Chain A
Amino acid sequence: MNNIQFNDRRFGFFFVAPAVIVLSIVILTPIVIAIVTSFYDYTLIDRSLNKFIGLKNYFNSISSAKFLHSSIVTISFVFLVVLFEFLIGFLIAILLNQVEKFRNIYYFILLIPLLINPVVVGLIWRMFLHPQLGILNYVISLIGVDPVNWLGDPQNAFITIIFVDIWHQVSFMIILLLAGLASIPEEPYEAARVDGANGFQQFRDITLTYMRPVIIITLLIRLIFALKTYDLIYIMTKGGPGDATDLISYYIYRSAFIGLDLGQAASMSVILLIIVCIIIYPLFNYMNRADE
């Protein structure tokens, strides 16, 4: 590194320093504290009573049936919401990409759910879905369908939560995929048409190949966020009925602040963090490669 490069770097560091400092205080510190906590039998009574127990919390977590259960619930939830959000999102994005008039209006309408705070989304839908007072049961009663206990029945609740999450998050997919679609140039399609490709072949050979990076990134981002879903559960079901919608983030919250088992909860957070990191890794790699 020559002198000028060195000076440039120092200048750069100088500019990013404030952000790095703030981020380390608000993000890195809690993470470190959580990791440390996960090795202790943490009591909340007095610091001196905290006992270092090594990996015992981790063993307990992994062998706990409840943890296993909420892991399975979470995996099913993540798989289903990401899959349907992607399919619905891609379909709507393709349709919207062909719209020329009032495009901005559609954009705006689609953005609305995304702009609403998840807690508010949960509250709105809890009202809609209320067994006696909700508008949804009223509407289906008009066509003679018996009221449904949307959130009170274990099987319904899981599906309902998935539905509400799709309603809330599908716009994210649409917006990102639409941006990707809009950036595909017209010429390869024309070349393919002249070369003899039909609609499906054009979609397979042009649209999908051009969209691959966007699709991968969109899916991974959505996957990570879905894995951390917490607020919707907190507002709508509190993990219930029973433990039907006990997503892992919510289970961790319950262990820590209701069960007051902070050490155990911290160990589960660390496990979740590791899983998220493993998912992020290819994303990170991919984006780095795209830069080159």
Chain B
Amino acid sequence: MSKKHIQLIGVTKKYQDNIVVKDVSFEIADDEFFILLGPSGCGKSTTLRMIAGLEEMTEGKIIADQKDISIEDPKDRNMSFVFQNYALYPHMNVQKNLSYSLKLRKIPQIEISKKIEWVSNLLKINELLERKPSQLSGGQRQRVALGRSLVRDPIAFLLDEPLSNLDAQLRVEMRQELILLQKKLSKTFIYVTHDQVEAMTMASRICVMNQGEIIQIGAPQEVYDQPESIFVAKFLANPVNNILKTSIQKKLDKIYLETLGISIVNKKLKDRSEIYFSIRPENLFMTSPDNNESIKANIVQIENHGHELLISCQIPNSSQLLYFRSNKDSKISIGSKINIGFDIEDLLFFDILTERIIK
């Protein structure tokens, strides 16, 4: 990690007795695309708003650029914020929306004009400068909101679910643009989303939150491959992850996983009688019946996603369905009996009580 830029230390937010954000600490480098990911109500937006100063902290400390900004007013923090619903000033045209923060800082008009030209070229909104926000489409408003934060030179760009109000097509486009933009500016972006695809594709690091707590922080692939808990394994899955319960029997130096009907060597599991395990749909494949490490399965449902099929099947020792992906040309039908193979390396095991990973 390069230079420490923004640091949260034990940040907590309570509304009366309700703890919304609990003891959150992390550090962000000055060129990072840091994504706070979690389901709605997990405290990720509140965390972001506390960094901006829009929400007061109950406890903790926020340090930005080697300065403690915990109790500073938002206007003195020099952070920019992109709101989920854009929050443009409805009575100002695009140009005035963009220049408002600069005018407040008494920056000379020539510089303001330069900045606006730069940002409107960058975001391709030159044509829109004279329009009022009400005359813009959702995507255009999004660009203006982004532009409003780009004209400044803030310590960090804070973005609160900025793409969630756009349609799917536009979201993909804006995603790409944001990635490029962040690379180009090489600035700190702190981005809140509940969309794991956004998190996977954009982040340099993801911080997964649930119920006000940080569950895991790491690079996207790391979080995807090595989830700390069942929550992360489930949440970072598109569209699903297979998480099943199994009982364990010790057989000599091997361990027998009843649900899968296979024996494996794993020392950490030998004192347990029941565990969860996960295996991602893309790590399962159809195989021939003479493969020893395979499960017999009955196809229950086939979802056609166009480029592939998502197949759910019933296995003998579990009431839960197992999902796997298959080529769109595979000739299978509901009810057919198949054999599913997998690589033991791809199995992850979780404690039955704490739901944390067993390493």
Contact = CB atoms under 8 A, between A and B. Distances in A.
Interface of A: 185, 187-188, 190-198, 201, 205-206, 209-210
Given A187-B85, A194-B52, A209 B91 contact: yes
Interface of B: 52-54, 73-75, 79-81, 83, 85, 87-91, 100-101, 104-105, 148, 152
A209 B75 CA distance: 20
Nearest to B49: A190
B81 A191 contact: yes
A195 B100 contact: yes
A187 B148 contact: no
Contacts of A210: 91
B81 A188 contact: no
B73 A193 contact: yes
A187 B75 contact: no
Contacts of B101: 195-196
B89 A194 contact: no
B15 to A, nearest CB: 13
Contacts, number: 54
B100 A194 contact: no
Main SS of chain A's interface residues? helix
12 contacts: A187-B83, A187-B87, A190-B54, A190-B87, A191-B89, A191-B148, A194-B53, A194-B74, A195-B104, A205-B100, A206-B89, A209-B89
Contacts of B79: 194
Given A201-B104, A205-B100, A194 B81 contact: yes
A180 to B, nearest CB: 14
A196 B87 contact: no
A185 B90 CA distance: 11
A49 B358 CA distance: 112
A41 B104 CA distance: 66
B75 A194 contact: yes
B52 to A, nearest CB: 6
A196 B107 CA distance: 13
B75 A198 contact: yes
A281 to B, nearest CB: 24
B55 to A, nearest CB: 10
A211 to B, nearest CB: 11
Contacts of A194: 52-54, 74-75, 79-81
A209 B133 CA distance: 15
